[in-house]
Amino acid sequence: MATIRSLWTSSFLCAHVLGQAYNPGGREEGAFSYVQPLNTTILGPYGHSPAVLPSPNATGDGGWEAAFVKAQAFAAQLTVEEKADMVTGQPGPCVGNIVAIPRVGFNGLCLQDGPLAIRVADYASVFSAGVSAAATWDKDILYERGFAMGQEFRAKGAHVALTPVAGPLGRSGYAGRNWEGFAADPYLTGVAMELSINGIQDAGVQATPKHFIGNEQERQRNPTYDPNGTVTDILFEAISANIDDRTMHELYLWPFANAVRAKAASIMCAYQRLNGSYACENSKVQNGLLKEELGFQGYVMSDWGGTHSGVASIENGLDMNMPGGLGNYGLFPQAGSLFGGNLTRAINNGSVAESRVDDMIIRIMTPYYWLGQDKDFPTVDPSSADLNTFSPRRTWLREFNLTGPRSRDVRDDHGELIRKHGSAGTVLLKNENNALPLKAPKSIAIFGNDAGDDTQGFYNQVDFEYGTLTAGGGSGTGRLTYLVTPLVAIQNRAAQDKALVQYWLNNTLIVNSNVTDLWIPEQPDVCLVFLKTWAEEAADRQHLSVDWHGNEVVESVAKSCNNTIVVTHSSGINTLPFASHPNVTAILAAHFPGQESGNSLVDILYGTTNPSGHLPYTIALNGTDYNAPPTTAINTTGINDWQSWFDEKLEIDYRYFDAHNLSVRYEFGFGLSYTTFSLSDLAGSPLRDDITSAPEKLPVQPGGNPALWESIYNVTVSVSNTGEVAGAAVPQLYVGFPSATTPAGTPPRQLRGFDKVMLEVGETRTVAFELMRRDLSFWDVVSQQWVIPAGEFTLSVGLSSRDLRDFATITPVEA
């Protein structure tokens, strides 16, 4: 307990002094003080976050100017009570609700989960999860998936989709929600965020990138409330993610910058604390990073129950309190709200400036007008109200006008897209003796509890034993309207070959059997083993293995079957200890593919689709090889003692394994195809001749200084299909910074470009990667800007982060 660690480069303090978490409605009750001298007795060695005040007004810059004027006019018409309503959630038909103000023709806002489906809905699609979408490395699919999801949200009357996810980013493979997000890499996640947001918002729905920021584990993400106290009495505060300034910029903030640049309507702040103060009342990240540095013009909404103060949160940048009530997850609307009536009072007695509340409302209404949500927006489907277990009708305090048609079918032809997306997110990890694609096998044996139908319904919120996994649990799941299981899809396809298909779905039975006693008449042509790994919100994973004794299932089958093909349906990393077993001829990581799971897989197994998925994370040899595990326990009783120091800094996932030259099983970016590719002629040429180390200081636009987004190099490479079938290659560009001029701790190689290119047999195409200024910069904590170090960069292009095929150097700034 000795040294004070200086985070954010600032030595003082503290958007939120420990112990003053609950400032209900105004300064008169809480004597809230933002800037105090650093008091190490209070703060101990914990992280600090400097105050950044006041909260910047929105301007509508960057294309929202006309909508901004409408939003200003809207706000000007409202009474103080109506203003409080505009920023405070209410129980109602959706997961989050802003009530209508019929007097001014405003029909309210409906906010719905989540990242792979409109969750609280009937007759809606369940898409592939974020991890699957990232594993496609396919920009067209990332956009198309977002657009199709946006269409479904809109048709159900949801103005705001609580997606996409860049936090967790994947600091630890154990984190329970990684599958909701994309990749353990800020660049790939950033591209995925931008394209998903473009898709959702092009469909007329507001996107809500989340969880801002540092939400890298589930354990103690929320305070521990005293079960014997009132709804806000706390035994332990939430964990504090303590992140230094450079790591914040280069890893965790990076994809949110893409999201702001894509003009995301809203950003959801995270549950946990960040350098000592709750993310939803942390002025450094909300006012400073998001609204000032990134020029965010939309609104910050709290995660559900993530608001822990009234005036303090508002002044520190929070614009909307969701779901509005008090206590754990905001589940107690009857107990009041830190906003709502308290805000009305705070405005009336001058504790909070009405102009700040106007800014909150303008931020909320600008994207609403920009997306045309004031015109012909579908009504909320009344079936939402019936399905909403979060705020069922009996909890409603206000009336909602549910007039539109009930149980609308919004699925359109999205099943076809989902089938394609599922295949594209399936990664072929091993393929010996050309085990795949299957060649019309006459005898197929199927093993494992992940192959067949779900036995506990289609709204899976628990780790049930029998049934295939298409998604994980929590607010990021979906309610299936149908499910094509692997078993049914294989049976259907195998019928074309009049094959014998035998199956055993009981893992215990398989583990305890000599499988030669199970099958007839002799060893099948192929043994397909289906394994699964559950993960869910509010819990981190206990291990990185597969569930339900899956490794033993593989051992039992592979002992007697020399053509064992393993398929995993998994939230993410599995260590796959059987990967080197000689009888395991192929492994497919099928992730969480959504409702067409079986069809997506059969297209790969039988070669209708050539696999082109690549890992969006690294598979180590052993779960203990990963650094930065979650903080799972503390032994002390101090209210602030849950702390997570991001001491690994930039060294997460491949950045760590590469920096320490550690062997892994399958590295980030890895994925096989049924064909082979070659890469050659890598070259980089500057797109301007006067590249400076520091960016030109241009007026901030959404996404930050526009100079950072300027393309300054064009890098090209030739990609050829050298094999015997058509297929899609994923060339990946990694950048190595000049070591002499870049601060210590810079990873050896970082992803800075990728593409997916379909190639016929023998075809060669040139792929171009435009490197933006940000791609060649590090965050300089001294000058507080992105800086291109002088000297020679190494460019490496490959088919994974370690299968590097060609190299080139560039020198943007002479030493």
Please name which of 563, 555, 493 lies closest in space to residue 528, comparing C-alpha atoms.
Answer: 563
Where in 390-409 is the site for ligand NAG (CB under 6 A)? 401, 403
Please name which of 678, 614, 609 lies closest in space to residue 436, comparing C-alpha atoms.
Answer: 609
Where in 279-308 is the site for ligand NAG (CB under 6 A)? none
Closest contact distance (angstroms) between CB of 110 and ligand NAG is: 12
Rg (CA), the chain: 26
Among 562, 608, 784, 809, binds ligand NAG (CB under 6 A): 562
**Judged by CB under 6 A, which stretch of 143-151, 167-175, 297-305, 711-719 contacts ligand NAG?**
711-719
What is the biggest distance separating any 2 CA atoms in the chain, rounded to whole angstroms? 84
CA distance linking residue 394 with residue 413, whole number of Å: 36
Other CB atoms within 10 A of residue 605 CB: 28
**Judged by CB under 6 A, which stretch of 203-211, 241-249, 577-585, 788-796 contacts ligand NAG?**
577-585
Please name which of 328, 341, 312, 311 lies closest in space to residue 85, comparing C-alpha atoms.
Answer: 341
622 contributes a contact to ligand NAG by CB under 6 A: yes
624 contributes a contact to ligand NAG by CB under 6 A: yes
Residue pointed to by tokens 């990967």 = 579
Q: What is the DSSP annotation of 107-164?
A: --EEEE--SSS-SS-SS------HHHHHHHT-HHHHHHHHHHHHHHHHHTT-SEE---
24 contributes a contact to ligand NAG by CB under 6 A: yes
Instruction: Write the interaction track for ligand NAG spanning residues 74-103; mark x where CB under 6 A is met and - where it is not.
Output: ----------------------------x-
**Judged by CB under 6 A, which stretch of 142-150, 275-283, 473-481, 709-717 contacts ligand NAG?**
709-717
CB nearer ligand NAG, residue 562 or residue 809:
562
693 contributes a contact to ligand NAG by CB under 6 A: no
| Residue-level length of the chain | 815
**Judged by CB under 6 A, which stretch of 225-233, 274-282, 671-679, 799-807 contacts ligand NAG?**
225-233
- C-alpha distance from residue 706 to each of 700, 702, 703, 725, 813 (Å): 7, 8, 7, 43, 20
CB nearer ligand NAG, residue 116 or residue 487:
487
514 contributes a contact to ligand NAG by CB under 6 A: yes
Q: What angle do CA 598, 602, 605 make, to 5 degrees?
A: 135
Among 4, 234, 387, 509, binds ligand NAG (CB under 6 A): 509
Instruction: Write the interaction track for ligand NAG spanning residues 244-283; mark x where CB under 6 A is met and - where it is not.
Output: ----------------------------------------
Among 340, 611, 613, 695, binds ligand NAG (CB under 6 A): 340
Closest contact distance (angstroms) between CB of 353 and ligand NAG is: 7
Contact in structure between 21 and 59 (CB atoms under 8 Å) = no
559 contributes a contact to ligand NAG by CB under 6 A: yes
Listed in sequence order, the residues at least 6 apart from 235 whose beta carbon sits closer than 8 Å to its beta carbon are 223, 224, 225, 226, 639
637 contributes a contact to ligand NAG by CB under 6 A: no
318 contributes a contact to ligand NAG by CB under 6 A: no
The size of the interface with ligand NAG (CB under 6 A), counted in residues, is: 53
342 contributes a contact to ligand NAG by CB under 6 A: yes
433 contributes a contact to ligand NAG by CB under 6 A: yes
635 contributes a contact to ligand NAG by CB under 6 A: yes
Burial of 148 (0-12, 13-18, 19+ CB in 10 A): buried
Closest contact distance (angstroms) between CB of 487 and ligand NAG is: 16
496 contributes a contact to ligand NAG by CB under 6 A: no
Residue pointed to by tokens 């370690």 = 802
Among 560, 627, 676, 811, binds ligand NAG (CB under 6 A): 560
- Establish whether the linkage from the previous residue to 731 is cis, with ω within 30° of 0: no
1 contributes a contact to ligand NAG by CB under 6 A: no
72 contributes a contact to ligand NAG by CB under 6 A: no
CA distance linking residue 179 with residue 159, whole number of Å: 24
Give the distance, in angstroms, between the CA of residue 359 and the centroid of all CA atoms in the same chain.
28
Closest contact distance (angstroms) between CB of 117 and ligand NAG is: 25
Among 516, 608, 680, 783, binds ligand NAG (CB under 6 A): 516
SS3 assignment, position 717: strand
Instruction: Write the interaction track for ligand NAG spanning residues 36-65; mark x where CB under 6 A is met and - where it is not.
Output: ---x-xx-----------x-xx--------
CB nearer ligand NAG, residue 276 or residue 340:
340
DSSP H or E segment with residue 357: helix 354-370
Among 341, 382, 629, 723, binds ligand NAG (CB under 6 A): 341
Number of H helices, E strands in the chain: 20, 30
CA distance linking residue 390 with residue 318, whole number of Å: 23
328 contributes a contact to ligand NAG by CB under 6 A: no
**Judged by CB under 6 A, which stretch of 74-82, 150-158, 215-223, 340-348 contacts ligand NAG?**
340-348
608 contributes a contact to ligand NAG by CB under 6 A: no
Q: What is the DSSP annotation of 405-462?
A: -SS----TTHHHHHHHHHHHT-EEEEEGGG--S----SEEEEESTTSS--SS-SS--S
214 contributes a contact to ligand NAG by CB under 6 A: no
CA distance linking residue 308 with residue 24, whole number of Å: 8
Among 2, 31, 227, 376, binds ligand NAG (CB under 6 A): 227
CB nearer ligand NAG, residue 313 or residue 742:
313
Among 502, 583, 720, 741, binds ligand NAG (CB under 6 A): 583
CB nearer ligand NAG, residue 130 or residue 467:
467
Closest contact distance (angstroms) between CB of 304 and ligand NAG is: 17
Contact in structure between 762 and 721 (CB atoms under 8 Å) = yes
Bridge pairing between strands 785-787 and 793-798: unpaired
DSSP H or E segment with residue 346: helix 340-348
Closest contact distance (angstroms) between CB of 232 and ligand NAG is: 6
- Both tokens of residue 586? 């192929």
Residue pointed to by tokens 């892994």 = 664
Closest contact distance (angstroms) between CB of 482 and ligand NAG is: 24
The DSSP letter of residue 639 is T
CA distance linking residue 503 with residue 510, whole number of Å: 10
629 contributes a contact to ligand NAG by CB under 6 A: no
Where in 722-781 is the site for ligand NAG (CB under 6 A)? 766, 768, 770
Among 114, 164, 204, 336, binds ligand NAG (CB under 6 A): 336
Residues 529-547: b if buried by 16+ CB within 10 A, e if exposed: bbbbbbbbbebbbeebbbb
Report the residue closest to ligand NAG, judged by CB. 336
Contact in structure between 302 and 270 (CB atoms under 8 Å) = no
337 contributes a contact to ligand NAG by CB under 6 A: yes
Q: Annotated active-site positions, please?
A: 303
CB nearer ligand NAG, residue 317 or residue 340:
340
Closest contact distance (angstroms) between CB of 814 and ligand NAG is: 22
**Judged by CB under 6 A, which stretch of 116-124, 553-561, 595-603, 803-811 contacts ligand NAG?**
553-561
Listed in sequence order, the residues at least 6 apart from 772 whose beta carbon sits closer than 8 Å to its beta carbon are 708, 709, 710, 711, 712
Sites of contact with ligand NAG (CB under 6 A): 22, 24-25, 39, 41-42, 54, 56-57, 102, 226-228, 335-338, 340-342, 355, 359, 379, 401, 403, 433, 506, 508-509, 512, 514, 516, 523, 558-562, 577, 582-583, 622, 624, 633-635, 687, 711, 714, 716, 766, 768, 770
